[in-house]
Amino acid sequence: MTYERKFEALAVPTRRAVFERLIAGPSSVGALAEGLPVSRPAVSQHLKVLKDAGLVVERREGVRRIYRLDTDGIREMRNYFDRFWDDALEAYQRSLEASDA
């Protein structure tokens, strides 16, 4: 559930495509696979990685499994970025001032 896992999960183009299709709303595995140029097992494997990274959650509905975004995981990642960028930019400002002196 670390931010590293989320980074690595979203770095792969196909996996990012799966994730971004879920932005439009929850979907079954088969429906996701139809809109992508890879096989259903490939989509299933990507969903597992996304789930383990805390980016999506799964719900059973009969024989289907409906995947949707994990809003907590996403918010967590976003919060991390906010802090990260703030720190980075602040440190850079400090270094600029130091070299000006």
Nearer to a copy of itself, 39 or 92 (CB): 92
Report the partner that residue 83 touches, choosing among a copy of itself, DNA, none (CB closer than 5 to 8 A by kind).
none
Name which of 29 and 56 has its Cβ closer to a copy of itself: 56
**With the C-alpha atoms ordered 37, 46, 23, 66, is the resulting torsion angle positive or negative?**
positive
List of residues 6+ apart from 66 with CB closer than 8 A: 26, 27, 28, 58, 59, 60
What is the sign, positive or negative, of the torsion defined by CA atoms of 29, 35, 40, 46? negative
- Which partner from the list a copy of itself, DNA, none does 24 bind, CB cut-off 5 to 8 Å by kind? a copy of itself
Q: Which amino acid is at 39?
A: S
Which of 49, 74, 97, 101 binds a copy of itself (CB under 8 A)? It is 74
Q: Is 82 in the site for a copy of itself (CB under 8 A)?
A: yes
